[in-house]
Amino acid sequence: MPGENDFDIYQGESGFVAVTNPVRRQILEALGEGEKELPDLVRITGKAKPTLSNLHMRELLQQDLIEELPHPTDSRRKVYRLKGRRIGASHIPLEQLRGAVKQYATPAPSAFTLALPSVVSVLASGGDASSPEALLRQGQALGEASAQAIPARSLREVVTAVAAFWEREDVARAGKLDLDQLELEVVLSDQWQGAQLEAVAHILSGFLQGVRKALLGSAGNVTCHLGAQRRARFTLAPA
């Protein structure tokens, strides 16, 4: 059975979902091997049929990670199929991860602890989007400081883990993900407007560089294209 302190990251049609519940992780893993009926999942998880149906299956259906289909020969039975795609996992304790993302330490002992969107807002308000170098440097420093909370051991994992991190912290909602091209498209949070969007895009480019440098030893290059409807596309240079 999967560890209770781990989580898996799945990509569905509406974005990324971190699945922390070990029973739901078991269900998704089983469905990844093929379609299953509810009695099959009862045997796999050891949970009662009402618990699975009314709690776990309902939640996974609402998250759009699985789908319920009619049985091909018996209308009284249902078949479940995996709809989302598993793209990553965390192997650090969940409570440690949750705590770490809030701890942006500064040299000043009395400094307030700020959530990631607040830090990005402060940097964006003090920078000039027409001179992105300073914003990139600040973003890189922030990415390096945050890397302890981002589980990744390869460039592909950096892309998926940072996408999930930004979504959890309400910085950006993940859209398209292309791991072969090391490309991530996100929709930036609506808390930023106008010229701030370009500044935030530079900061997040630097953030990706900082995470990559801290975890893999090299910052590399990140290109960013800011398009319509608050969409930003980031592409990491290969190793």
Pick the range with the lowest mean pLDDT from 58-62, 193-197, 233-237: 193-197
Pick the range with the lowest mean pLDDT from 85-89, 187-191, 218-222: 85-89
Encode pLDDT of 98-123 as tens digits: 443 344 333 333 333 446 777 787 67
In the predicted structure, residue 193 carries a pLDDT above the cut 90: no
Pick the range with the lowest mean pLDDT from 17-26, 54-63, 67-76: 17-26
In the predicted structure, residue 128 carries a pLDDT above the cut 80: no
Q: Is residue 1 part of a domain?
A: no
In the predicted structure, residue 66 carries a pLDDT above the cut 70: yes
Counted residue by residue, the chain has a size of 239
In a shared domain, residues 84 and 98: no
192 or 124: which carries more pLDDT confidence?
A: 192
The whole-number average pLDDT for the span 137-142 is 86
**70 residue type, one letter:** P
CATH number for the domain harbouring residue 140 = 3.30.1380.20
Encode pLDDT of 71-99 as tens digits: 999 989 999 999 988 766 655 444 444 44
Q: Domain boundary at 63, 90, 117, which?
A: 90
155 or 4: which carries more pLDDT confidence?
A: 155
In a shared domain, residues 40 and 127: no
pLDDT of residue 124: 76
Q: Is residue 67 part of a domain?
A: yes
Give the chain's mean pLDDT: 81
Q: How many domains does the chain have?
A: 2
pLDDT of residue 207: 94
Proportion of the chain above pLDDT 90, given as a percent? 44
In a shared domain, residues 166 and 104: yes
Residue matched to tokens 């407007």 = 193
In a shared domain, residues 101 and 203: yes
For the entire predicted model, the pTM comes to 0.54
Residue 78: domain span: 7-90
In a shared domain, residues 141 and 52: no
Q: Domain boundary at 90, 118, 138, which?
A: 90
Those residues with Cβ within 8 angstroms of residue 66's Cβ, 6 or more apart along the chain or in another chain:
27, 28, 31, 57, 60, 80, 81, 82, 83, 84
Q: Is residue 133 part of a domain?
A: yes
Q: Is residue 169 part of a domain?
A: yes
Q: Domain boundary at 90, 105, 121, which?
A: 90
In a shared domain, residues 125 and 209: yes
Q: To 10 degrees, the CA torsion angle through 173, 177, 182, 186?
A: -20
Residue 221 phi, psi dihedral angles, 5° rounding: -120, 140
